Structure 1
Amino acid sequence: MKRLALILALAAGAAQVQAQTAGDAAQKAAEALEAASVLLQSADSGNDRVAALTDTIRAYEDGLAAMREGLRAAAVRETELSRKLASQEAEVAQLLGVLSSVGGRAAPQTLLHPQGPLGSARAGMLVAAVTPALAGRAAELRADLEEVSALRALQENAAETLEEGLSGVQQARTELSQAIADRVDLPKRFSEDPIKTAILISSTETLQGFASGLSQIAEGEGAAPTDAIEGLRGTIPLPVRGTVLRQAGDRDAAGVSRPGVVIATRPGALVTTPTAATVRYAGPLLDYGLVMILEPQADLLFVFAGLDVIYGEAGQVLPAGSPIGLMGGEAADVLSPSGEGAGAGRSETLYIEVREGDVPDDPLRWFATDKG
């Protein structure tokens, strides 16, 4: 892990890459990795271990993203320098010829100028004036070549580190699944009636209809949480690392318009509950894939659809930041550093819908995002 942290810092700094923000992100990611490692080693109880593993996975995600951003900047810089050197090939050859001629002239030859001693003196003055400029130009070229070499070495050495980081995050995800399975001390607000749930699903054609009937599948339901989150409107963190791909009301490729937003994420990204909430439903639903429906307060539902793995069951009360699932996708996708800034590699999508009462509300009014 220390090696990963070191390479993260090098990814944007040692090779003089252009984006300073990548270096800052790498340093923060390195610090987060170290903190998560300490937290993981000190975790004892079930919930502590779940929290520690959650932080570890987040740290790996941030670290790998910072590494990819650093490598992307390094690749861009290397391409720029290589093109610059290629375009100056003729100038470089001429410069080398002049330097070779100046450097190889024997002292007695300077006395053989056709115009005699005065001509030799003038030529010497000219050479003395030109030589520093030639040396400076040669130093610039040497610096460019050294930077290209350093950037290439960085990218070659980083491949192994990316593999190690991917292996680490996969191991953390496996341990997280086991830790969640072993967790038994979460409070439960109600128990789900599987027969009523099956009937509701079979008779439902829309998400709105299913959401309206959620209260029918609960047995022994206790009082709703009293902590309102109205004051958090617009500041609630997204449940997953990603960017807004489609806003509420936008049509998708099939021409379908939905009241929620679509978040583009990387494969295998961890999804967490953004606030303390009761799990209203967890499982497959209609054409949404695996769905997690959370109730952070009475008459308010957060719907997360499109997960590949879900954690939790109906009735459980989850604290903020608890893992609720993982995105799908091929693990190999996260190894590519190219196009990080443009969002390439975020091949998975999470659909988020907010329902207040029976009415959908724009999720961007609740969640803090970059608005796309």
Structure 2
Amino acid sequence: MRAAALILCLLASPALAQAPGDAARAAARALEEASVQLDAAEGSRDRVRALTQTVTAYEDGLAALRDGLREAAVRETELSRRLAAQDEEIAQLLGALSSLGSTAAPEALLHPAGPVGSARAGMLLASVTPGLAQEAKALRSDLNEVAELRALQENAAQTLREGLAGVQQARTELSQAVADRTDLPKRFTEDPVRTAILISATETLDGFASGLAQITSDEAPNSLPPVDEQKGALELPVRGQVLRGANEADAAGVKRPGVVIATLPQALVTTPTAATVRYSGPLLDYGLVTILEPQPDLLFVLAGLDESYAETGEILPEGAPVGLMGDAASDSASLSREGSGAGRTETLYIEVREGDAPVDPLEWFASDKG
């Protein structure tokens, strides 16, 4: 009866999902394509745009690879635990079946219930034999999958290192390309004296935003198309996760009307839509700040950058680089750190202002960017 129970238990065990290694392999291929894209950017006429796309491709590929490896590690742990739990049951089952082997004495095949019981036992054994073969095949598949997942993770470290080196090279070249750029139109010229006076007289972001019109000279009319139809569908300006929503208190109990996005070190920040750069520089306790104006009476405030590419007065196209997040030293290939989410060490503060009042940024941005 114990052997029959073990057999039925094994036959009833559900099949597990297919290994997630394919996602990691696809991400590795994406990193290879990003490397090709970086080489192609050398001869591009619009080098800034090409390098921006390359950095984004690297970031997407690295994020996907980390996700795939995290899933692979979870899957390997799941399979290992399952196989370890079945070791004892399989050993008992094999012991019970071996007692019915061809070398057993004839009397060992007699059933206590007589010939009818022996016949029924034989029928049970015949019915479960195909199931046992199927279960053995599944176990072999699981063992092979564990071996493949381990090999995948061992090879991933080198792929991550190469990907991180590639994205760092692309970021460096992008910074140089932005510095060499001379073809962006300017809507107005910033008056540095007026800007300094406004900053020194300002104690809040509200006050600074309200006085932005004072720092301009020779301003041309707005020529950008309205973006109201894109409300709620704009991509976040950086790859990351919403860490804190609008008006949610931080650790110090301070509430701000914007959202905080947790990002990886040196993540690229881009314009969600074409916009005029109303201000770019340090401001109050927000660090480096870039204020974009997609249309009159609408401002996107991006605060917390480590490096800014934007220049006050410029008109940036959609997807143009605004700057980079900080902490380059933390951009490592550590799977445990990245996999746990601890790698998102940087934070970008996003505030949206309609007229003179802030609104919840998630009314404008889709927040599913991971």
TM band (smaller chain)? 0.7 to 0.9
Q: 2:364 aligned with 1:366, yes or no?
A: yes
Deviation (angstroms), 1:336: 3.7
| 5+ long unaligned stretches in structure 2 | 1-16
- Secondary structure of 2:72's counterpart equals helix
The code of the aligned residue for 2:162 comes to E
State which of 17, 42, 47 in structure 1 corresponds to 2:19: 17
Deviation (angstroms), 1:17: 2.4
Aligned residues: percent identity?
A: 65
The code of the aligned residue for 2:258 comes to G
Distance (Å, rounded) in 2 between the aligned partners of 1:317 and 1:337: 39
Distance (Å, rounded) in 2 between the aligned partners of 1:333 and 1:32: 16
1:292-311 matches, within 5 Å, as 292-311=290-309
Compared CA separation, residues 26 and 201, structure 1 to 2 (3 A): farther
Could you tell me which residue of structure 2 aligns to residue 176 of structure 1? 174
The code of the aligned residue for 2:294 comes to P
CA contact under 8 A between 1:272 and 1:325: conserved in structure 2?
yes
- Secondary structure of 2:137's counterpart equals helix
Could you tell me which residue of structure 1 aligns to residue 219 of structure 2? 221
Could you tell me which residue of structure 2 aligns to residue 9 of structure 1? none
Distance (Å, rounded) in 2 between the aligned partners of 1:149 and 1:361: 52
1:268-279 matches, within 5 Å, as 268-279=266-277
The code of the aligned residue for 2:228 comes to E
CA contact under 8 A between 1:260 and 1:363: conserved in structure 2?
yes
Distance (Å, rounded) in 1 between the aligned partners of 2:181 and 2:207: 32
Deviation (angstroms), 1:267: 1.4
Deviation (angstroms), 1:94: 3.4
Q: Show CA shifts across 1:242-281 (max 9, x none).
A: 1222111111111111111111111111100111111111
Compared CA separation, residues 317 and 130, structure 1 to 2 (3 A): closer
Q: Show CA shifts across 1:132-185 (max 9, x none).
A: 554444333222211111111111111110111011000000000000011011
Distance (Å, rounded) in 2 between the aligned partners of 1:35 and 1:333: 18
The code of the aligned residue for 1:317 comes to I
1:1-372 matches, within 5 Å, as 16-18=18-20, 23=23, 27=26, 30=29, 34=33, 37-38=36-37, 41=40, 44=43, 48-95=46-93, 97=95, 109=103, 113-114=106-107, 132-333=130-331, 335-338=333-336, 343-370=341-368
Distance (Å, rounded) in 2 between the aligned partners of 1:314 and 1:68: 36
The code of the aligned residue for 1:170 comes to Q
Compared CA separation, residues 52 and 102, structure 1 to 2 (3 A): farther
CA contact under 8 A between 1:301 and 1:356: conserved in structure 2?
yes
Q: Show CA shifts across 1:194-248 (max 9, x none).
A: 2221121111100011111111111222222352212221111111111222111
Compared CA separation, residues 365 and 29, structure 1 to 2 (3 A): farther
Distance (Å, rounded) in 2 between the aligned partners of 1:45 and 1:147: 43
Compared CA separation, residues 115 and 366, structure 1 to 2 (3 A): closer
Distance (Å, rounded) in 1 between the aligned partners of 2:220 and 2:212: 14
May I ask how many residue pairs the two structures share in their alignment? 348
Could you tell me which residue of structure 1 aligns to residue 3 of structure 2? none
Distance (Å, rounded) in 2 between the aligned partners of 1:93 and 1:116: 21
Compared CA separation, residues 42 and 88, structure 1 to 2 (3 A): closer
- Secondary structure of 1:88's counterpart equals helix
Distance (Å, rounded) in 2 between the aligned partners of 1:244 and 1:117: 69
- Secondary structure of 1:167's counterpart equals helix
Compared CA separation, residues 33 and 315, structure 1 to 2 (3 A): farther
Q: Show CA shifts across 1:41-92 (max 9, x none).
A: 166466x111111111111111111111111111111111111122223223
RMSD: 3.3
CA contact under 8 A between 1:327 and 1:348: conserved in structure 2?
yes
Deviation (angstroms), 1:338: 4.6
Compared CA separation, residues 32 and 339, structure 1 to 2 (3 A): closer
